[in-house]
Copies of this chain bind each other. A is one copy, B any other.
Amino acid sequence: MNAERQSWKEVRDRIRDQILDRTYAPGDKLPRDADIAEQFGCARTTVQRAMQDLSDTGLIERKRKGGTHVRTDPVSRATLDIPITRLEVEKSGATYGYQLIDRRKLPMPRDIAAKLEQVEPIPMLRVQALHLADHNPHIFEDRWVSLETAPEILDVDLTRYSANEWLVRNKPYTRFDLRIYAISADEKIAKMLATEPGSALLVIDRTTWIGTATITSVRSFTVPGYQLLASN
């Protein structure tokens, strides 16, 4: 008998191999799940699972009635893990430090309102803080927290605990988005990160929601040389 060490991964790999070796070229239509299942001698559910995975990674495209096709323009779909800064630092073996720079209630600026998809102005807390690695600046964060969604933040001792950590532990989000880009450090940021004005910095803007309610929007200025890693 075939002896086939069954599993949906096995099926996925074999289909992927057939795509790689051009048995099915970009644009080609693959057989229906049912036929593939029969060919492999497994249940359709198993094929479904394998196909789902190939679809998730962007190699194929599936449509009801239309069938399954090899994508003409494969997408690189990478998973990016944004860790809690403290854990990231500690994992690297360095000593983590944290320093509150500023904390005040302020009216919500226009650009923040836009990011939060917020029309009505809501009361917000602005928190600026510095994350340290081995006593050196690592990330400077400029954060706006909605006092409607997270009023309890006012009672948190932000000189000791980072707003980041409190929020992530107490206000899980249902949705977020990220914007990653590079800027030249202006004088203030440079001083904060103990680097030269004009240094190239990686900046990460991140906004989170819980349902449709906005939680926080934070701009993180990373120290020169900081890298984000992703893979599939």
Contact = CB atoms under 8 A, between A and B. Distances in A.
Contacts of A87: 73
Interface string A15-52: 01001100000100000000000000000000000000
B229 A59 contact: no
Contacts of A200: 182-184, 200-201
A81 to B, nearest CB: 5
A92 interface: no
Interface residues of A, number: 51
B73 A168 contact: yes
Contact of A198 (B180, B198, B226): B198
A80 interface: yes
B75 A78 contact: no
A93 interface: no
Contacts of A198: 184, 198
Interface of A: 16, 19-20, 26, 58-59, 72-84, 87, 168-169, 172, 174-184, 198-203, 206, 210, 224-232
